[in-house]
Structure 1
């Protein structure tokens, strides 16, 4: 596509047959959730791949975190593109890339292919996330605009947890979990692509597409106090999410001596599921109060998780995951609600890119560092230090939030 094509004003296309608004809204919500359903699906499979292909344990954390880096790169480059070329083109292209990632998983012959598929998957999710979040609000029926915003916050966490749970069940009860899971996801993504093709466009295309591709990470001055105060909270909560989504299969196998695929899926499911629930239930409460409450939840949950791992008490691991997951959902949703109104419309994409930059770096980098430390320190020692870092970050976040309140 030429520069002139991207940047010139585009006239409205001829009218075409589109899905009814309610159907388009429901389809968009399900397609958005399917991206994160697919993102959570590999968690129980990675240990299975490690057993089958015999790679080093640290490679597992790289395969887990590769998704976050692909997502970040895509988000900061094309996150605002749909404001210029329209939601539909970005969603259709992103879902097509996601479909390619699902097929890469189906036919992956080794861990290198899995890592590549995770990167492609992250790129697709990052490109689609801002467009889907906006489209859900724009496609929502007039009486349910708030529902569109809530789904935009809840679908990612809920999808991650449900993807891990369903894949865990497939690992436990079938012999072709990889084929079954990613073939099913490929079909779901293909249906989501068809829905995007048949949905109505919700914004008028405008010039500036190429300029929007410049990476934009910008925090407006009015939003900086809330952004800075929330940064250590994002670090703590996303590290806790990384512990359950990236490290829990190894912890269950090597510390608790359980190799059940279903148990892996259930354990990874707990924090994202409670995160989605907390984000929904607390959506009407003041944003700063929700961030403080969530930070306390992450702190308490991480302490209980550490106690469970140190004493090899599995129920404590789950209880800590429930409490910490609720704190994660409260912290992240509250922080987004706190900074969003403090930016002008043309600054919002750059601001949210900055928030997600902190979040996904916290999700991926500590997990990779932990993976590198497993060999010299041992898994148990590494995980205990990892948990201690979560607690330290949560304490710093609580102090920052209290200073902000004063």
Structure 2
């Protein structure tokens, strides 16, 4: 591992710190999810607005990834992370003082810019320290962060005062501690020239990974489309099936994320192709069960489908990273990770906005959930064909 800068943290502690930063950023992105119902009651906006607020984050992440995704390869991981943490804290301050939809949009925009800048840098830094453990951490952290952020937010809303502010204050304190850790950790790459040139949006890939990336694109798109739907509309769907508490709504993302993380841990030593196939099968089964749950208006069956969907998400995402990242040179890691995350966040945001319009203009939330489930099944089948074709043409 290059040691381009001195620091007081050991590689293992640095790896844990970096994973915790990724968890915090994903937790911050999920924290507003249980609050959307509260915001909607206070400011009287429709599900379309909810999904637009949700998708603004994904668009901002995309813009940031395309602009800043390779920057840490040139200036170092630490400077990019330090600035990203500061910008994330600014976004959380905007959430705290928000008094309408416009403020929510600004907060999500700023939050997405911070997350996009941090994602490539923190992910690449973990791979710099330890490729195997870094790949595992990159796979498991999104699930842990998303699930813990949503559940923490729901619990604070339900049982403590200042429901629209407290979770953001807690996250700011955590980020401050992590900023100190970044200052103490050693740099993991040697900075090189070309930082300004790296800011030009560029989605080119090294020749060695182009074919593997084409194989995993449908997988990534499908699993993140599912995550986006549950993140934006999952709690509302639960309320439409059963008039229940905010905590149960927060459990939607938590269960989805926990089972995704369990799948990652269980399959951490499994071949990439097997992990991806497991993810696709779990995704299809999860959507079939979800269809049954919505038609039967069954909460227990819905959570079974949610758990299977989580396994599909964790396996599909982990298998995709395990397929691509071992083929990437150290100085290309941040840029390749950024390209993969571009695919993820297009899947995360675009279908969710479409779903929001369908809820309002084409039959309501249960019908939209059915249509979305069918669409995810079709995407998963496309992914399955791609993986099977790659299996026949590229043994190993």
- Interval containing the TM-score (normalised by the shorter chain): over 0.9
Mapping of residues 6-25 of structure 1, within 5 Å: 18-19=8-9, 21-25=11-15
Match of 2:107 in 1: 117
Q: CA deviation at 1:202?
A: 2.3
Report whether the alignment pairs 1:131 with 2:121: yes
Picking from 24, 35, 50, the partner of 2:25 is: 35
1:3 aligned partner: none
TM-score (norm 2): 0.92
Partner of residue 135, structure 2: 149
1:228 aligns with 2:214: yes
| Aligned equivalent of 1:101 | 91
1:26 aligns with 2:16: yes
Residue 360 of structure 1, aligned match among 340, 345, 370? 345
Instruction: Give, in angstroms, the shift of residue 42 of structure 1.
Output: 0.9
Mapped contact 1:216–1:353 kept (Cα < 8 A): no
Corresponding residue of 1:170: 156
1:322 and 1:241 map into 2 onto residues whose CA distance is 12
Shift of 1:158: 1.0
1:45 and 2:35 are equivalent in the alignment: yes
Question: Aligned partners of 2:193, 2:214: CA distance in 1, in Å?
Answer: 33
For 1:187 and 1:394, locate their aligned partners in 2 and report how far apart those are by CA, in whole Å. 40
**In the alignment, what sits opposite 2:375?**
389
**Contact map agreement 1:31 1:188 (CA 8 A) in 2:** no
Matches within 5 A, 1:77-92: 77-92=67-82
Residue 271 of structure 1 pairs with residue 256 of structure 2: yes
From 210, 226, 246, the equivalent of 1:261 is 246
- Shift in alpha-carbon separation, 1:221–1:18, aligned structure 2, 3 A: closer
Aligned to 1:218, the other structure's residue is in SS state coil
Contact 1:161–1:272 (Cα < 8 Å) also in 2: yes
Give the whole-Å Cα distance in 1 for the aligned partners of 2:56 and 2:273: 32
Deviations 1:317-369 (A, max 9, x none): 11111111111111111111112234455554443333222211111001001
Q: C-alpha separation between the residues in 2 aligned to 1:32 and 1:400?
A: 30
Work out the CA distance in 2 between the residues paired with 1:374 and 1:125.
28
User: Is residue 193 of structure 1 aligned with residue 179 of structure 2?
Assistant: yes
Distance 1:361 1:26 in 2: 28
CA distance in 2, matches of 1:97, 1:280: 31
Cα gap change, 1:368 to 1:355, in 2 (>3 Å) = same
Contact 2:119/2:338 (8 A) holds in 1: no
Can you give the 5+ residue segments of structure 1 that lack an aligned partner in the other structure? 1-11
CA-CA distance at 1:203 after TM superposition: 2.1
Determine whether 1:322 maps to 2:307. Answer: yes
Q: Distance in 1 between matches of 2:308 and 2:136?
A: 21
Q: How many residues align?
A: 388
Q: CA deviation at 1:23?
A: 4.2
Tell whether the 8 Å contact from 1:28 to 1:195 is kept in structure 2 after alignment. Answer: no
Q: What is the RMSD computed on CA atoms of the aligned residues?
A: 1.9
**Where has structure 1 moved over 6 Å in runs of 4 or more?**
none
Structure 2 unmatched runs, 5+: none
1:205-258 Cα offsets, whole Å, 9 max, x none, are 2211111111121234443333223222222211211121111122122x2132
1:307 to 282, 292, 295: 292
Shift of 1:66: 1.4
TM-aligned CA distance change 1:228 to 1:149, over 3 Å:
closer
Does the Cα contact within 8 Å between 2:22 and 2:141 map onto a contact in 1? Answer: yes
Give 1:146 deviation, angstroms: 3.1
Residue aligned with 1:177, SS? coil
